[in-house]
A and B are shown apart, each in its own frame.
Chain A
C-alpha cells in the first residue's frame, strides 16, 4: 500500500513536469516562428556600393580569387589579384559571404559601412571550429562555458594506446594519473579536483552521445585495487575529438551525473567522396626506467645478523638469538644464490599495433569502418594485453528530411595480468624487491623452486599463476534525425553498452607451502545498459542580428549488472584450471544482480547578438531509482553569458587583439554515484542458520536521501591576438559541493553500522590557463601549446558525529579533516635517529608510560604533546597527495616534410606515501631491504638518519607506523612524448597510388625529472580517495616506437 502511494506521487510529479516543459517549449517555438516570419517580410530596400580588400589574416598578404557573395542570393564577385573587390548591396542588413579554398568562410553584415576589409583565416588556424557539446554542436567562438577540446590531430599520429592517456597534459584542470604501468590498467581522471567523499569522483564519459559505463571496470577480484581502464575498449585511432566539459554551464545538461565533469568522445564518421583507406602500424619496445637498489647476498646476511643482535640488545637477552639457518648458511645450494630479482623479472617488452580504416561515401550513404589489433607485452614477465577492436559508423540519407545511422563498436580485450598491486606475499613488485637475494631459482637438479622458506618465488608467481581478464564489449547506437522544418530538427537514438567480463585466477600447488593445495576462482560479470535519448533543436535568426537556438529533450537509461563468482580449492591437477576440477567449492560463491535506472528531461536556450553578446541557459531534471521517493527528481539549472569585447568600438584601437571574449557562468550539477539500494533499505539474504535460509536487515532505509549538489562559478577569458598567432584562454572557478553522500556511523544499538546521509561540504577553487602560439610561421614552422591548472581542494565541513579525534580515517594512510584536502596523510613525524642511548634525555617511551624507552639506533619520533610517550596522540598531518598544479607543454616543429613534436608533462606539489619504501626498509621475515640500509646505525654514537634494523620491530618503528619517513615529494616533469616524423613527398608516393606515407619514431617517458626515489612518481595504487600511495605498482616504462601511416 505504501509503495503504491509513493509510486503515484512520483508519477504525478513527472506528469506535471512534462506538461510544464512541453507547454514552455511550444510557446517558445510559436513565438520564435511568429517573430521570424514578421521580421523577414520587413526588408529594407536601400542599395549601396561596398568596396574592400581581402587579405590573409596570418601573413597580411592580398588574397586574390576570393568569392564575395551577398548571402541568400547569387549576386557576387571574385577579388582581384591585389585582393580588392566592389559590389552593390541591396540593404544595410545584407550579409557578405567571403569564401576561398583553404580559408575559413567569413560573413560580414554590411551595416552603414561602405568599405569592408576582410582578413581570412587559413584553415590551419581555424577558430570557427565546431565543438561537441551535450546534445549538439557549437561554434567554438560562441562558447559561453569552459570546455577543453582535444582533436584527432593530437592523437592519431602518435602511438597512443588508449583514450585517457591521450588526455594527459592536454587540458588544463584535468589531472590524469596512470594507476600503474601495466598494459590496460586503470587511469584516474580528475576534472577540477575531488568533489565527493563516498560517491565517485570519475567524470561521466559519453561516447557519440552514449553515456558509457566507467565504474564497472574495476577488477573482479577483491584485492587488486588498480582497476581497469574503462575506455581501453575504444581504439584511439577512431577518435575525431575529445571534449572535456568543466564548468557547470557546459555540464549541467548532464545533471545528476555531471559534478565531476563530462568527457565527450566523438568518433570519426564517413565523409562524402572517394574512399580513403588508411593503414597504420607501429611496433615498439619498452623497458623499465630504473632499477631500485637492493642489498646483495653478503650485505643481506650482515643486516639479518645485525637485526638479531639489535633484538637481543632490546630485550637485554643474555644468550644470543640465532637466525634461521638459511640466513647464515652461505654454502647450502638452496640459499647460496645472489640474485637481483629485478633483473630476473623485468624484461624488454615488445608491442605492435595495426589499424586499418576505410572512410567514404556518397550523399545518400556514408561510412567509416575501422579495425585494429594491439599486442602489448608488459615489462613484467608474463604480462600481456591483446585487444581487437572493430567499428562501423554509417549515415544514410533516407529522404530530404530524414537521416538515419548507426555506430557499432566491438572490442575484445585479453589482459594477462600479474598481481602487482595489493599487499603481502601476493604483490609481485613488492615481493621481488623484498625477496632475499640468496634464494636459488632452482634445485641442484635444475627444477624450479617456487616456494621456499615462507616465500613464493616471483618467477613462479608470474609464470605459474593465472590471472586472466577477458572483456568483450559492444557499444551500439542507432539514430534518426528528422528535419521537420529547415531550422527545426528532431533526433532520437537508442543505444546499448554491453560488457561481458570474465576473470580466471589460479594459484597452483607449486607456489604454495601446503601440500596439494591449489586455489582457483572464476568471476564473471555482465553489464547491460540501454539508453533512449530524444530531442528537438530549433534555430532561428530574428531581425538579422539575434540568433536564437533552443533544444528540449527527454531521455531514459537503465543499467543491469549481474555478477557470478566461485572459488575452488584442491584441484585434482594444476593443469585443469577450470572449476570442474576443484575438489572443494569454497564458501565464496557470489551471484548477484543489481539494477539502476534514470529518466531525465532537459532543455537549453541560447541567444547570440551578432556574436557579441552571448547567453545560454540549461536545465536538466533527473529522476533516479537510487533516491528516495521524497527526492526522486533533481533539478540542475545553469546560466552563462559571454561578451565579445573585441567587437566593441573601443577595441578598434587595440589592433593586436583579433578576438576577445569574457565568459561567466554559474550552475548546479549533481552526483548520484551511490550504491543502488541504500534509500529503500535492504534485507540481505544468506544470513542463514545452519541449513535454514535466513534474511536480515542490513541497510537502514533513508527515504530523504538525495544526490550531492555541486554549485560552480566560472569566469573565463578567451583572447586571440596578433592575427590568431597567439591564443590565450584563462578560467577561474569555485566549485562547492554540498549534501555529500556519506555513510555516517550510527550507534550499533540501532542494529546498523552506518546510514547513508547527505552531509558535509567540499570546495575546489582553481585557475586554468592555456596558451597556444604560432611562434614561427614560414617554411620552418614552430608552434607551442602550454597549459596549466591550479586547484586547491578543501574539506569544508564534516558532520561531528562521524569524527573521531576530529577526523575520519580514510584507509590506512589518510584522513579526512575539516580545512584539509582529500589526500591528507596522517601519521608520525620522523626527526632522526638517536645516536646513543643517552641521547634520549627525556626517556621517551614506546606506547605507554610503562613502555620501553627508545635507545640508540631507534628513530626519534616527534612527541607532539610532550608527554614523553609515543602513541596515537602524536600523530599529525604529514603530507598532501594533491598537486598544486599540473599541466603540459607541447612544441611542434616542422620543416618541409619533417616534423618534430616534443611533449612535456608536469605535476607539482604532491606528496607520495611510499608504502613500498616502508616494506623495503624493514627487516621482517628475512625480507631484503634497500641499499639505503648501508647507512644504518650500527653502534653507539653513529650519527645517521637510518635507524638500526631490529628483528620483528618490537617498538613498531616501521611496522604499521605511518610516518613521514615514507613520504616523498611526488613532483615531476617528464618528456612524455617525442615524435620525429617524415612524410614522403606526394610527388613520389602518388606514383604508387599512395596519397600519404609518413614514417615516425616516438619515444615515450624518455626523461623524467623528479626527486621521487621509487620507480616512477606517476603512481596511484588505489583508485578511490586514497590518493598518492605507492604500494608497489607496476612501474611505468620507457618506450621507443617506430610507426608508419599509409593512406590511399
Chain B
C-alpha cells in the first residue's frame, strides 16, 4: 500500500520531468538569431550581406573625408578638433579617424558571409556565388582602406565563432593583404551580378564596381598594365557613362547617376556626416582651401556646383547637399557617398597609360584628360606640351584634374601618397617630412586591448 503511493508520486514526478526534457532549456533568441541559428536560409544569406553594407555605411559616414581629404591640401578648417590635428599633422592616437573598429566590423561580417553562405546554396548556385562575390568585394574594400590608412594591419579572413580562436592578432605585411584584396576583387569581378537594372547598380557591388575598385588597387600598387586592363572593362561597360555638365551637380545631390560606379547608400534614417563636414555655414568642419580655389582654371563650370563662391569667405561646400544650400543646423545628411565613378576611373586610366608611356598610350591619356576638361567647359590640351606648359608634366595635369573633378570626394590624400607627392605637397603646409608619417597612428584603445599590436613606427 505504502509502496503504491510512493510509486504514484514518483510516477507523477517522472512524467513531469520527461515532458520537461523535451526542450525547455533550449531557448533560441526570438527577436534575433543565435550565432549557430543564422545562415540557414537564402534569406539569411542575403540579410547577412546587407549587414556588411550596413557596416560600410558606418565606416564611411565621416571617415571617407577624414581619411581621404583630412590630411591633404584641398581643405581648410576653422575648427580646433580632429580636423585641425589632421591638417596640422599632429595626429593623435585617440582621434576618431585613428579608430578602425568600424572597418573590422565590416571585415567580420564579410568573413561570416564568406564562410557560411556556401552552406546555404548548392555549390554552383549563381545567387550564392553572387552573394559571396559581394561579400569578398566588401572585405577587399575594407582591407584596402585599412592598408592605405594604417599600413601593416591585423589580417583576419575567418569569422570568430569560438573563444578557442586566437583573438590577439598582430600585424601582417600590407603587400600580403593587398594580394588577398586583389584575389577577392578578381573573384568579385568574375562572379558578381553584371547588372541589377535598378538603382542597386550604383550602391551594390557589380562586376563593374569590382573592376573599378581593382583599378584603384592596381594604381595604388603601381601595377599600371593591370589597371589599364581593368579600366578598359569599365570603359566598355554600357552601365556607365559621363553625365553632361548640367547634371554634374546632381550626381552628388541626387545620387544614383549613370556616372557612378560604386557609392555607399544613405537615406533619411540612415544618415551621414556630409552636412556637418561641409555644409553648415561657418560651422562646417571643412571649407575649400585658398590654394585649391586658386588652382581652379577660369571658366571651369564645375566651380559653381562645388561651393558658394559669392561671399568673401566661402562658407559652404554645397557639392553634396546641392547648389544654394544654406544650412545653419547640423542635421544629418542623406546623400550617398560616391567612392568610385567613371571620371575617376578615366583619369586613373590616363595616369596608368602615361606611366607606361609610348606615343599611343600618351595620346590616349591626353584624350581621356581632355574628355573630362571639355565637359567642365575648359579648353582641350591640343598636345601634351600644352599640358606640360601649364602643369609641368602630363601626370601633374591629370592629378590636378583629379583634384578638381573629384574634389572633396575622399581621393586627394590617397592620390598624393600613391604618386609620391604627399611630402612635397604637404611639407610646406604642415611640415610633413617622413614617409613613416604617411600612415595614421593605431588608436590607443586598440593597443590597450591587444598586447600583440605595436604602434606604427612614427608614432611610437
Contact = CB atoms under 8 A, between A and B. Distances in A.
A683 B36 CA distance: 9
A751 interface: yes
Nearest to A803: B448
Contact of B55 (A485, A556, A687, A801): A687
B36 A680 contact: yes
B109 A697 contact: yes
Interface centre among B21, B23, B107, B111 (most CB of A within 10 A): B21
Contacts of A199: none
A751 B104 contact: yes
B23 A14 contact: no
B298 interface: no
Contacts of B36: 2-3, 680-681, 701
Interface stretch (A99-107, A585-593, A640-648, A839-847): A585-593
Nearest to A679: B34
Contact of B24 (A18, A485, A597): A597
A11 B21 contact: yes
B32 A748 contact: no
Contacts of B48: 694-696
Interface in B36-85: 36-38, 44, 46-55, 57
Interface stretch (B236-244, B263-271, B373-381): B263-271
Interface in B1-37: 2, 5-6, 9-10, 12-14, 16-17, 20-21, 23-37
A652 interface: no
Given A682-B29, A700-B161, A701-B35, A690 B270 contact: yes
A687 B6 contact: no
Contacts of A33: 2
Nearest to B112: A697
B314 interface: no
A558 B267 CA distance: 41
A681 B35 CA distance: 5
Contact of B31 (A488, A593, A702): A593
Given A33-B2, A599-B25, A689-B265, A696 B54 contact: yes
A592 B16 CA distance: 30
A745 B29 contact: no
Contact of A554 (B17, B108, B111, B453): B17
B449 A694 contact: no
Task: Please tell me the size bucket of the interface on A.
Answer: 35 or more
Nearest to B264: A689
A749 B169 contact: yes
B35 A683 contact: yes
Given A482-B9, A704-B163, A554 B25 contact: no
Interface in A538-573: 554, 556, 558
A804 interface: yes
Nearest to A800: B451
Interface stretch (B152-160, B184-192, B342-350): B152-160
Given A625-B25, A700-B161, A747 B33 contact: no
A907 interface: no
Contact of B53 (A532, A591, A680, A689): A689
Interface in A944-990: none
Given A677-B34, A682-B34, A693-B50, A554 B16 contact: yes
B433 interface: no
Contact of A695 (B27, B38, B269): B38
B16 to A, nearest CB: 6
Nearest to B100: A748
Nearest to B99: A748
A534 interface: yes
Nearest to A623: B25
Contacts of B29: 594, 676-677, 680, 682
A7 B23 contact: yes
Interface in A754-770: 755, 757
Given A484-B9, A685-B47, A751 B160 contact: yes
A677 B26 CA distance: 11
A692 B50 contact: yes
Most chain A CB neighbours (cut-off 10 Å) among B6, B24, B46, B269: B6
Interface string B295-335: 00000000000000000000000000000000000000000
A747 B449 contact: yes
B168 A747 contact: yes
A55 to B, nearest CB: 44
Nearest to A11: B21
A925 interface: no
B109 A696 contact: yes
Nearest to B53: A689
Interface centre among A15, A591, A595, A696 (most CB of B within 10 A): A696
A596 interface: yes
Nearest to A553: B13
A26 B270 contact: no
Interface string B420-454: 00000000000000000000000001101111010
Contacts of A3: 26, 36-37
Contact of A681 (B34, B50, B51): B34
A184 B34 CA distance: 37
Contacts of A683: 32-35, 37-38
Contacts of A587: 269
B162 interface: yes
A593 B105 CA distance: 26
Contacts of A1010: none
B167 interface: yes
Interface string A412-447: 000000000000000000000000000000000000
Given A14-B17, A556-B20, A681 B161 contact: yes
B265 A685 contact: no
B46 to A, nearest CB: 8
A1048 interface: no
A695 to B, nearest CB: 4
A22 B10 contact: yes
A532 B32 CA distance: 28
Nearest to B50: A694
Given A7-B23, A680-B36, A687-B54, A748 B105 contact: yes
Contacts of A492: 12
A688 interface: yes
Given A33-B2, A694-B51, A751-B108, A625 B453 contact: no
A746 B156 CA distance: 15
B104 A688 contact: no
A122 interface: no
Nearest to B45: A695
B298 to A, nearest CB: 40
Contacts of B14: 18, 22
A490 interface: yes
Contacts of B20: 556, 599
Contacts of B112: 697, 751
Given A687-B54, A690-B267, A695-B33, A750 B167 contact: yes
A699 B33 CA distance: 10
A742 to B, nearest CB: 13
A467 interface: no
B91 to A, nearest CB: 16
25 contacts: A484-B6, A534-B13, A593-B30, A594-B31, A676-B29, A682-B32, A687-B50, A688-B270, A689-B54, A692-B53, A694-B47, A694-B52, A695-B47, A695-B48, A700-B160, A700-B161, A702-B162, A747-B446, A747-B449, A748-B445, A748-B449, A749-B167, A751-B160, A752-B160, A801-B449
Interface of A: 2-3, 7, 10-11, 14-15, 18, 22, 26, 29, 33, 482, 484-485, 488, 490, 492, 532, 534, 536, 554, 556, 558, 587, 591-599, 623-625, 632, 676-677, 680-685, 687-704, 745-753, 755, 757, 801, 804
Given A680-B35, A694-B54, 6 more contacts: A10-B26, A18-B14, A681-B34, A681-B35, A699-B35, A700-B35
Would you list the 9 A-B pairs with minimal beta carbon distance, nearest first?
Answer: A751-B108, A681-B35, A694-B50, A696-B51, A689-B53, A625-B27, A683-B33, A694-B51, A680-B34
